[in-house]
Amino acid sequence: MPLRALCLALVAPAWAVRVGQAALPHAARVPASALLMQARPLEGKVAVITGSSSGIGLAIAETLAGAGCDLVVHGSRDPSIMGELEHDLSSQNDVKCKYVQADVSDMEQVTALIDTAVATFGKVDILVNNAGIQHVSPLADFPEEAYDRVMNINLKATFMLTKFCLPGMQERGYGRIINIASVHGKVASVNKAAYVASKHAVVGLTKVTALEMAGTGVTAVTVCPGWVLTPLVQKQIDTRAAASGRTIAEETKALVSEKMPSGEAVRTKDFGKMVEFLCSEAAAQITGTEIVLDGGWTAQ
């Protein structure tokens, strides 16, 4: 048993009675084993989170590690600069964590990513397809290479990784495919032809995955974010600020308010909690659908 779990097992009964439970009638007290499960509900599970070296993916990795899940953290950056992240995630959460570098526009590297995950941890229970890129251009000028790159990273890698993970998940009777798409999987915006097409396709791919896996314990869900202030969006804010002459802060506020009635960007940590919930037993029947975190963007 990992050290942190062991410590919790030793202290939980006394702690549970001291903190709050003493006031409860005996029948309402929570058994220590249940408290342990609440503390580390994903203990024993293995997750692969693509694009988890920054932004939304990193926040998901941090939350799943906190829930006791072993992790493959992935990105395009050199492993020599990712050792610290690997070390921090594993030591702070008493889980195993491996960073894998793979360019997911290259399907050989996509295959190698899953091979490494299975060779390291023996299985993949949770696949979060999060790596994604954007290219902004009017359709008439949209470069073909940019279109292919967006489609390969946002859609084809999601298809391939899902395909590789499903048989093992089905065999074990538990699996979660969580595809981070976008509000642009539901509605469109100008100048984002490849991105909008790829994210709409991810919504469709998730539905097919859910139908094919129905009743097996494997679910597939699309998560659709509105604006989240990550490096992917920062590039768009910088371009807009350069064109408008506004400050970065003014441009950020304008960008978010144009689309989101809440006037507030979604926080990266909110995706971690949402994904943790989707991995739980309570979410076993949430499949083939979209969870939208967009401050009201798509309600309009």
Residues that bind ligand NAD (CB under 6 A): 51, 53-57, 75-76, 103-105, 130-133, 153, 180, 182, 225, 227-228, 230-233
* Cβ distance to ligand NAD smaller for residue 105 or 206: 105
Residue at 78: amino acid letter: D
* Cβ distance to ligand NAD smaller for residue 121 or 227: 227
- In whole angstroms, the minimum distance from the beta carbon of 237 to ligand NAD comes to 10
Residue 46 CB contacts under 8 Å (≥ 6 apart), including other chains: 69, 70, 71, 72, 117, 121, 122, 123, 124, 125, 126
Dmax over CA atoms of the chain, in Å, equals 70
Q: Count CB atoms within 10 A of the CB of residue 277.
A: 14
- In whole angstroms, the minimum distance from the beta carbon of 105 to ligand NAD comes to 4
- In whole angstroms, the minimum distance from the beta carbon of 183 to ligand NAD comes to 6
Q: Count CB atoms within 10 A of the CB of residue 264.
A: 13
Q: In whole angstroms, what is the distance from residue 297 CA to residue 290 CA? A: 14
- In whole angstroms, the minimum distance from the beta carbon of 168 to ligand NAD comes to 22
* Cβ distance to ligand NAD smaller for residue 16 or 82: 82
* Cβ distance to ligand NAD smaller for residue 57 or 68: 57
Dihedral, 152, 55, 192, 180 alpha carbons, nearest 10 = 60
174 a catalytic residue: no
Residue at 87: amino acid letter: H
CA distances, 84 to each of 67, 73, 110, 133, 248 (Å): 20, 12, 23, 25, 30
Residue from 47, 34, 141 nearest 93 by CA: 47
Which tokens in the block code for residue 178?
A: 């969580």
* Cβ distance to ligand NAD smaller for residue 131 or 279: 131
- In whole angstroms, the minimum distance from the beta carbon of 55 to ligand NAD comes to 2
Residues classed as catalytic = 195
